[in-house]
Amino acid sequence: MGFGTNVKQTRKQKNFTLQELATRSGVSRSMLSEIEREGKNPTLQVACQIAEALDMALSQLLGEHKRQEAIVIRQEQRLIYRDEQSGIERHLLSPSFPSRGIEFILNIIPPGQESGTFPSHRPGVKEHIVVVQGKLQVVLGKNTAYELGTGDSIYFEADREHRFVNIGDLACHYYLVIDSLTVS
């Protein structure tokens, strides 16, 4: 199943109308309708707004959920979300499970591009980032910014808007861990 189909299925399971999801996510009803019909692929920012409004991790809306003792994810099998507008890639390195927990992600931002503003997560959600290549600006809230280079890391409570900007001349590769284990 595709992202849009998973959104529609989840929305119906939660008994949300398109209008209710639009209000909760800040994404227009017409855009949501297009996404659910698989007519449009949303930007990474919009996909995260939808996931947050559905009280889910984006990874859950992107993939199938299987329970196994050990899960090996081969490079060619990982879930990759590509934002067609910006060229940003989001590689899910951990399995996606139906409950909240830990997400391990490799993000790649082309030079001069940015993620767009991600919505606030619920209180208690934490993000950990380490830059493995390039230069990354992390903007928290409206105007608090941190510049990170290769090998630098940052940790923050993600219950505020945040965005990521490649401020270097090369593609910026960074690992992101989203920890929502302690969120009730």
**CATH of residue 34:** 1.10.260.40
Q: What mean pLDDT is reported for the chain?
A: 87
Are residues 83 and 171 part of one domain?
A: yes
Residue 48: pLDDT band with limits 50, 70, 90:
confident
Does a structural domain hold residue 69? Answer: no
User: What are the residues facing 11 on neighbouring strands?
Assistant: none
Are residues 44 and 15 part of one domain?
A: yes
Does a structural domain hold residue 170? Answer: yes
Does a structural domain hold residue 26? Answer: yes
Mean per-residue pLDDT, 87-93: 91
Give the integer Cα–Cα distance in Å for 164 and 25: 20
For residue 99, pLDDT beyond 70: no
List of residues 6+ apart from 25 with CB closer than 8 A:
32, 49, 50, 52, 53, 54
Of 4-13, 129-138, 150-159, the range with the lowest mean pLDDT is 4-13
Residue span of the structural domain in which 95 resides: 75-179
The number of domains in the chain is 2
